Structure 1
Amino acid sequence: MLLFFALGLLVHFVFFASIFDIYFTSPLVHGMTPQVTPLPPPAKRLVLFVADGLRADALYELDEDGNSRAPFIRNVIMHEGSWGVSHTRVPTESRPGHVALIAGFYEDVSAVAKGWKENPVEFDSLFNESKYTWSWGSPDILPMFAKGASGDHVYTYSYDAQREDFGAHDATKLDTWVFDKVKDFFDAARNNQSLFSIVNEEKVVFFLHLLGIDTNGHAHRPSSREYKDNIKKVDDGVKEIVSIFKHFYEDDGKTAFIFTSDHGMTDWGSHGAGHPSETLTPFVTWGAGIKFPQNVSAQQYEDEFLKEWRLENWKRQDINQADIAPLMASLIGVPFPLNSVGILPVGYLNNTGLFKAESMFTNAVQILEQFKVKMTQKKEATLPFLFTPFKLLSDSQQLDILRKARSYIKQEKFDDVVSLCEELIDLALRGLSYYHTYDRLFLGISVAVGFVGWTSYASLLIIKSHSDIPRGTRREGKKPHHLLPCSFIVAGVLVACFLMIQACPWTYYVYCLLPVPIWYAVLKEREVIQALVESLLAFPLSRFVAYLLVFTLGIEVLVLSFFYRYMLTAGLIVFAGWPFLTQLWTRAKITCLSWAFFSLLLAVFPLMPVVGRKPDLSLVMGAGLLVLLLSLAVLATLVKRKLNLVKDELLVLLLQVLSTVLSMYVVYSTHHSLLKKEGLPLLNQIVSWATLASSLVVPLLSPTALWQRLTSILLSLMSTYLLLSTGYEALFPLVLSCLMFVWIHVEQETLQQSGVSCKQKLASIQFTYNTDITQFRQLCLDDIRRAFFLVFFLLTAFFGTGNIASINSFDLASVYCFLTVFSPFMMGALMMWKRGHHLSWKDGTEQKHKSSLAVGMQRDHISSAHRKEGENRKWSQ
């Protein structure tokens, strides 16, 4: 059994890792030739302002008095430059947002997971192509572009990471620090001849990363006065910096300015998912090479934003976030970033038709270079007779389009050049996507074959060990056939040779060779398969079809619950009525009524809002009081049952009561401290982390009797859960645990009803992992129902108060008892720990339900649920 568990763990680890290898591989290629527009650029220098976490509507809309929160930026829109909305992509986080802005490509999720401050993959950027770049801002963003640049021409100035505190008194200091450092820099340049000459050169970039708005949004939400006042502060700072540049460079008209954001923010102060409030960011540009405002009577955008913003008379030009990189490169005349997939927005350029046509042609060639390299790499790694090229963009088509574009430039048909290059770029981008996902179907089939094989093998092993089906089918003295193992060995060798010829990565060998031994193990059990088929054929057809339909419907409900949480509610309502359709109602009325009550009560939670709710401290305090009442009830029960209560048991219970009281105090104290903007008290932080650590140890000190151990687990985990709660979700574990306690009673009654003789009474069952499940009974058809209940409750435990998107776009207020300084991985880990609390207690209850097929189906269905969860994470991101 231990070997089987280890093998299963390894197989499922491979299945999980395959998700990242198939769907989250890096899109980058190397070996392209740099492309630059062969005409003088309009600007010598570029100033890039990135207001982190700034929503488009928050900048453009007017306040209650009809005034703009950013009067300088609004004045630019009306009198100096061009504007629009920049559309970002998920994940709407700072690192991928800045990579799209400065490097021009959308970073893959796996690279984001490898680190925020380092470069997990090499990529080209505008900073790397510039002659000099100076940047000021967050230590989480600036270093990755400096370390990814060749040579020593990207200079960064960052503040200490401890300044990024969501509980701090004034987060606008993060922005004023940047503005002050820029002013000090130019003061130093006036007195330093060497620095003065450098900053006056061409192809220079100044980058100001402004984190205050994002920090205030997380801490106080975008509707808060702090967030809105921070926008005014940034606007004043931008106005001052622009004035400094004009004065320093004597208003030479060679400076281009861009103001934008890396991502937006939801109303509840989070980002990461794909809500419009997160993906719509402002984009305003002015200065050298930029078109002046264009008055229009009608716009191509039909949304209501223009009227709300009162900007319907000024032409709006929306772009994709990656399009900003080629625009900046074109303005200062540096090569387009090699990995950029952005399309130059020529509508923003104030230049000749020839310059626009040449710039667009350069953009098309730069993206086409990536397509050629990607195609060549894939062609070299694929057998000639198996290679299927991208048919929409052949070599002859490429040459034809490029020749035609050159001909149009000579004929001064510049608009036709732009249209033709846009068509070429579109085809090249589609081709890049085609070759990037070229192996996806092949790998997906390999993993699916392996997964089906493992599920089949696990099921056969369970049936073989815990049922009467295999008996009488084995033939004694039968000589083993060598044909089967030899066939699989040959198949494995052929697969390995096929992968070796194509120079595939080592992970491909794992995904493609793993199904070979798995299916060999399945076919070795052909006698069990034959007996199982014979048993199914002997089963009444009508009952078989009915069971199959019910089972299929149940599986569909589980799948749909990943996308529509209310399906969990529907399932729980059906569960509530289930006992009344059986003989349980006649045997245990109180148990059935309790089951129905807690099922219906639990069904309310999937209907509640996932994110976006306002913190409700009273519900958290109420949940804490219920936990205290439960602790007192347990203590009274123990005293009533045995007067000579063990001292250690009493100490453990009192320790858990004290932990709950401390958690309630910490939640209350931290909430009021943050309201006063006094930050997270150190003592509260220490108590919170100590509570989390103790919740892992204290349950191990409790008695091993089932009820006492489960209660101890619940009380310990609830202390930490209260610290991570902001509202109604604090009540969820209590309702879930009550339902699980009732479930134990229900299954005990079901077993007794079916005539199964259990060797242990429920009250005397010990919480142990070495129980031999064969001592209870053999498999029965009702075990399929138990397995389904288990998987359904597992999904309810994980998604009852949230969904996949809520994990990525959670409310930071949930972790404020533990930390307020920005730490994305630690905060994400705490939120996953919060979800794991539901599953921890649920898994504990299953010690009672170790009944034959239920145990086997746990492995198969849980692995299926984890696989589907991984796939859903991929789509949600």
Structure 2
Amino acid sequence: MMRMIMFFLVGLVVHVVFFMSIFDIYFTSPLVHGMAPQVPPLPPPASRLVLLVADGLRADSLYKACANGSKRAPYLRSVMESQGSWGVSHTRVPTESRPGHVALIAGFYEDVSAVAKGWKENPVEFDSVFNESRHTWCWGSPDILPMFAKGASGDHVYTHTYPADREDFASTDASRLDTWVFDEVKLFLQSARENSSLMSSLQEDQNVFFLHLLGIDTNGHAHRPQSQEYEENIGVVDSGVKELVSVIEDFFDHDGRTAYVFTSDHGMTNWGSHGAGHPSETLTPLLAWGAGVRSAQRVTEPQPYHDGYLEEWMLESLRRVDVNQADIAPLMSSLIGVPIPLNSVGVLPLEYLNNSDEFKAESMYTNAIQVLEQFKVKMAQKKETTLSFLFIPYQPLTESRQAQLVTEARVLIQLEKYEDAITLCRFLIGQALEGLTYYHTYDRFFLGCSVVMGFTGWTSYVVLVILKTHASLRRPHTHTGQVSGKTLWWVGVGVTLLVGMFLVVQRSPLTYYIYCLLPVPIWYSVLKEYRTLTDLVRSYSSLPLCKCFGYFVLLTFGIELLVVSFFYRSVLTGGLVVLSLWPLLSGLYSKAKFRSVSWVLACLCLASFPLMPVVGREANFHMVTCAGILSVFISACYLWSARKRSLYLTDRYLFLSQMVQVAACACLPTSTHSSLQLKQGLPLLNQVASWITLGSSMLVPLLSSTRMFHRLLSIFLSLTATFLLLSTGSEALFPPILSWLMFVWINIEQDAILSQGISGRLELCAIDFSDNIDITKVRQLKLDDIRRSYFFVFFIITAFFGTGNIASINSFDPASVYCFLTVFNPFIMGGLMMWKVIIPFIIVMCTFESIQVSTQLSSRSLFLIVLVISDLMALHFFFLVQDYGSWLDIGTSISHYVIVMSMTIFLMLLSLVTHILTSRRVTLWRSHKMHFP
């Protein structure tokens, strides 16, 4: 037992290390520090900047006319047509508020690890336009503003936020969040007339006013972007901006020194979510007008955009200038003459500037030097921590090449060849950005090789453990050729010292020591078990080689099938169709026709779910109600089939009460939705009932009998009740159909065991989870157990992708959690959605636990095979990780590896939870047996 616990702990540590390695290889922060601020030498065109960010506003929602031809935002439309420049700002994934605002205001794209470390705080220190300004005043959400205030040096960023409970998706009028901001700005300017100190600060240059407008995003989540509430909120923002501009111009006596930038942090899908890479999420509006901004330009020739939006928006005659979201930061810096944020990777969009060619050239030169400074610091850091004979500089931008390009650009500006200087600066920026990526990924190959060595070593060791302890091999009594353990130990020590010295000389981070040294003890353990391989070779004559080869081919194909399913969910449908033929192909149909037919029907029903869309499903609470009825029907059928079996009276009452609870939970989402539609808010009774159901979901099953199907039924009812509360449509049918298939799987495995002639078969109705299996009856592994383990991994993947995928998690519908809360809280909402994802996992895990018990296998035996299959998948995804292409491609490839590794670690932990959930019982009262009439 102690060896098993040690193996589990070591395996957990190894997988945690492999899991964390991906963050050091791909998710390290790209930010560097120590650069000198760069400021254009010429005076700026504006003294102050007003930045308005309409959170969640799609580009087409602003630019496209209404069905009747009217404009949703007449004032902003007039600005586009006469006063300013416009275009589309292209965001990057994840399309969330925090990374969107960081890109806008700091000029760089926040890495995923930074987003995960904090919602309001700064996990890493970074510079921003607000930090470089003389004063910045901010109004808006408490989720966004504080991180820029706390990231600023000094005390010159002032925030004014409303209480967090105002961000309520059930609010009768979410546009009040925006009117609050506009009203507060007007009150602020009024108070400044009576406050000489504040008035003096406002009259200074390099000031920024930031208005964060959250109403559109809130209405989009609650009512969808095509709703009347969303479109009316756009009108509220439009009229608010119009009034605000008038107030500001009056306050500063129409001095013509105010620049305005209106944009959005991200868009929104038609179904009211954001986070992924759909064009409706990544295309946001950008309008700029005022001091230093080029006024509207009429064009007659076709514009270089072929996406069809100009015609759809009826804007063919107005010049459109698209930018990357990070380009807005240097634009704002240039307008008010502050240094471009030190870590900005944006390229100044000169088409938005209304100034001399000299000013544009100097501004672009400043932009190039600012990016080049980052490159120099990054190169110096890498050169300092790499042995001189191993350091390979970025060839297109060596130190001599840098000096040459900078000097040439400076000379071109002095010769007033501004267009040539601008072209050269853009080239320099592009080279510097590529060089930043080169040095940022410099150690990636080295670390990747270390992780692969550890991965392959661990997988080899697990295979050897399976062969040694869980398979029958002929073990001849010979010690010929045995490698001395002492020799292996000294070799391991020598390799450890060499690798350690290399890392010390390189001044590598502590985590590098873990990744590079971990393979040493792993391969030491593998080499110590070499006799197991020799035993396998000597036993080849007694092995069914053809059958082994067939299993190897099928397993390889099956693993590839699972890998492809991460990219194409529909592959799971094909897999389920093939699995449905298993009883027919294996000959079980002739011995258990009813169960075989049930297996086929359950597989085919479950196969429909991967074909359904992962996001964009319209809410259909009638389906939730039907799912509740189906769950109650399945439970009633079981109780009816158990009428001849002894059942505790308390269990009978418990099951009946759980069935009533499931029926009630099937009605709560409809009731909640109706109340929210009528703008009556979330009913308190519904909220209390939902939280009680959630809190009791893992406790109530512990009150039931530990007999196999009694406990499984209680777990199913308890988890289904919670799942129904988190559902909005057809996905609510997934747990009952999955449970049906799992129930049939348990029964049909018993028939498979019987057909193999394995003695000591247990009757399912007599199996009690709380009884320890007699160790003398635990059998050795058979080849067919590989099939059982693969089925388990396949069903685990199906449990995850059956109702969604990465996009559905990233773009979840907030309506799924409305039974629990409507006030925006990313952590609670995210936790609830993760629990929804875990519920199908627990159903499959409990089934696997049942199969281990009923087939008389130790829990370690099958799980080791599962571990090998999962690790092979993880290794496959490790090689598929890419650092090129779009941000979505890169993020998706990394996410696949993270999901598989998380699944492996999670299953190791969940197996313990499942064991407790199935085998432990809490007794609150004395039970009496009874028989059904």
* Segment of structure 1 superposing worse, 375-384 or 842-851: 842-851
> Which amino acid letter does the alignment assign opposite residue 314 of structure 1?
L
Q: Report what 2:355 is aligned to.
A: 351
Shift of 1:648: 2.6
Tell me the equivalent position of 2:893.
Answer: 875
Q: 1:869 to 1:744 in 2, by over 3 A?
A: farther
8 A contact 2:474–2:538 mirrored in 1: no
Report the CA distance between 1:473 and its aligned residue: 5.4
Q: Letter of the aligned partner of 1:745 in structure 2?
A: N
Residues 493, 180 of structure 1: alpha-carbon distance in 2 compared, 3 angstrom cutoff: same
Residue aligning to 1:452: 456
1:168 counterpart SS class: coil
Aligned residue type for 1:670: T
Q: Which residue of 1 aligns with 2:274?
A: 271
CA distance in 2, matches of 1:307, 1:325: 29
Question: What is the deviation of 1:831?
Answer: 1.1
State the distance in 1 between where 2:492 and 2:315 align.
69
Matched, 1:782 2:772: no
Q: Which amino acid aligns with 2:830?
A: G
* Root mean square deviation of aligned Cα: 1.9
Partner of 2:424: 420
Partner of 1:746: 748
* Residue matched to 2:584: 580
On the 8 A contact 2:57/2:216 being kept in 1, the answer is yes
Q: Would the aligned equivalents of 1:12 and 1:863 in 2 still touch at CA under 8 Å?
A: no
Question: Which of 596, 603, 618 is matched with 2:600 structurally?
Answer: 596
In percent, how many aligned pairs have the same letter?
Answer: 59
Q: TM-score, normalised by structure 1?
A: 0.97
Tell me the CA shift for residue 535 of structure 1: 4.3
What displacement does 1:582 show? 2.0
Cα distance in 1 for partners of 2:24, 2:650 equals 50
Letter in 1 for 2:444: R
In the alignment, is residue 338 of structure 1 matched against residue 314 of structure 2?
Answer: no
What letter corresponds to residue 570 of structure 1 in structure 2?
A: G
CA offsets, 1:314-334, max 9 Å, x none? 000000000000000000000
Q: 1:534 to 1:268 in 2, by over 3 A?
A: farther
Are 1:225 and 2:228 an aligned pair? yes
Question: Counterparts of 2:455 and 2:79 in 1: how far apart (Å)?
Answer: 58
Superposed displacement of residue 776, structure 1: 3.6
- Which piece of structure 1 moves more, 562-571 or 384-393? 384-393
Q: CA deviation at 1:769?
A: 8.5
> Does 2:269 align with 1:251?
no
What does residue 467 of structure 2 align with? 463
Per-residue Cα deviation, 1:99-131 (whole angstroms, up to 9, x for no partner): 000000001111111111111110000001000
1:302 is aligned, of 277, 301, 306, to 306
The one-letter code sitting in structure 2 at the alignment partner of 1:106 is: Y
The question of 1:560 aligning with 2:564 is answered: yes
For residues 210 and 137 of structure 1, the distance between their equivalents in structure 2, rounded to whole angstroms, comes to 6
Tell me the equivalent position of 2:81: 78
Q: Report the equivalent of 1:187.
A: 190
Give the letter for the 2:798 counterpart: T
C-alpha change, 1:558 and 1:768, in structure 2 (3 Å) is farther
Amino acid at match of 1:763: C
Aligned residue in 2 for 1:46: 49
Over residues 77-96 of structure 1, what are the superposed CA-to-partner deviations in whole Å (9 max), with x where a residue is unaligned? 10001000000001110010
Count of residue pairs the alignment pairs up: 875
Moved more, 6-15 or 34-43: 6-15
Mapped contact 1:706–1:766 kept (Cα < 8 A): yes
8 A contact 1:573–1:603 mirrored in 2: yes
Matched residue, 1:406: 410
Cα distance, 1:772–1:43 mapped onto 2, change above 3 Å:
farther
Secondary structure of the residue aligned to 1:696 is coil
Question: For structure 2, which runs of at least 5 residues remain unmatched after alignment?
Answer: 882-889, 896-933
Matches within 5 A, 1:24-35: 24-35=27-38
For 1:770 and 1:158, the matched residues in 2 are separated by 59
- Give yes or no for contact 2:219–2:229 (8 Å, CA) kept in 1: yes
Check conservation: 2:46, 2:257, Cα contact below 8 A: yes
SS state at 2:698 partner: helix
What corresponds to 2:326 in structure 1? 322
Indicate the residue corresponding to 1:282 in structure 2: 285
The CA deviation string for residues 177-231 of structure 1, in whole angstroms up to 9 with x for no partner, is 0000000011111222221121011000000000000000000111111111100
Moved more, 104-113 or 466-475: 466-475
Displacement of 1:758 in angstroms is: 3.0
Cα pair 2:49 2:208 within 8 Å, conserved: yes
What is aligned with 2:380? 376
Distance 1:464 1:134 in 2: 69
1:856 equivalent among 836, 848, 864: 864
Amino acid at match of 2:580: A
* Change over 3 Å in CA distance of 1:674–1:769 after alignment to 2: farther
What is the aligned partner in structure 1 of residue 797 from structure 2?
A: 795
- Cα offset, 1:629, TM superposition: 2.1
CA distance in 2, matches of 1:849, 1:277: 46
Q: Distance in 2 between matches of 1:728 and 1:828?
A: 21
Q: Aligned partners of 2:876, 2:226: CA distance in 1, in Å?
A: 36
Change (3 A) 1:625 1:868: farther
- Residues 45 and 573 (structure 1 numbering): CA distance in 2 closer, same or farther, change over 3 Å? same
Structure-2 change in CA distance of 1:281 and 1:769 (3 Å): farther
Aligned to 2:721: 719
Structure 2: how far apart are the matches of 1:788 and 1:638? 31
1:236 aligned to which of 234, 239, 242:
239
The offset of 1:554, in angstroms, is: 1.2
Tell me how far apart the structure 2 counterparts of residues 6 and 252 of structure 1 sit (CA, whole Å): 70
Query: Which has the higher mean CA deviation after the structures are superposed, 478-487 or 108-117?
Result: 478-487
- In structure 1, what is the equivalent of residue 112 of structure 2? 109
Name the SS of the counterpart of 1:135 in structure 2.
strand
Query: Which residue of structure 2 lines up, in the alignment, with residue 2 of structure 1?
Result: 5
Contact conserved, 2:754 with 2:761, CA < 8 A, in 1? no
For residues 631 and 546 of structure 1, the distance between their equivalents in structure 2, rounded to whole angstroms, comes to 40
Residues 503-512 or 299-308, more deviating = 503-512
Q: How far did residue 344 of structure 1 move?
A: 0.4
Instruction: Tell me, yes or no, if structure 1 residue 388 matches structure 2 residue 392.
Output: yes
Inter-partner Cα distance in structure 2 for 1:216 and 1:464: 61
Q: 1:864: how far off?
A: 5.0
Which structure 2 residues correspond to residues 457-606 of structure 1 after superposition, within 5 A? 457-469=461-473, 471-472=475-476, 475=479, 480-535=484-539, 545-606=549-610
d(CA) in 2 for partners of 1:60 and 1:52?
16
Q: Is 1:124 aligned to residue 127 of structure 2?
A: yes
- SS of 1:285's equivalent in the other structure is strand
SS in 2 for 1:586: coil
Matched letter for residue 737 of structure 2: V
Q: Is the Cα contact below 8 Å between 2:707 and 2:766 reproduced in 1? A: yes
- How far does the alpha carbon of each residue in 1:818-870 deviate from its partner, in whole angstroms, 9 at most, with x for none? 11111112211211110110010110011232236533212233455577789
**Paired amino acid for 2:324:** N
Q: Out of 137, 141, 152, which is 1:138 matched to?
A: 141
For 1:876 and 1:777, how far apart are their aligned partners in 2?
Answer: 40
**Native 8 Å contact 1:15 1:867 kept in 2:** no
The CA distance in 1 between the partners of 2:578 and 2:271, in whole Å, is 34
In structure 2, the residue corresponding to 1:162 is in which secondary structure?
helix
Q: CA deviation at 1:714?
A: 0.4
Which amino acid counterpart does residue 521 of structure 1 have in structure 2?
Answer: S
User: Displacement of 1:456 after TM fit?
Assistant: 1.3
Residue in 1 aligned with 2:769?
Answer: 767
Query: Structure 1 stretch 203-212 or stretch 440-449: which is displaced more?
Result: 440-449
Under a length normalisation based on structure 2, what TM-score does the superposition of the two structures give? 0.91
Q: Which of these residues, 67, 70, 75, is aligned with residue 70 of structure 2?
A: 67
Q: Which moved more, 1:846-855 or 1:21-30?
A: 846-855
SS of equivalent to 2:803? coil
Name the counterpart of 1:170: 173
Displacement after TM superposition at 1:476 (Å): 10
Report the CA distance shift for 1:475/1:648 in structure 2 as closer, same or farther (over 3 A): farther
Any stretches of 5+ residues in structure 1 without a counterpart?
Answer: none
2:555 is paired with a residue whose SS is helix
Alpha carbons of structure 1 residues 539 and 72: separation in structure 2 relative to 1, 3 Å = same
**2:81 alignment partner AA:** M
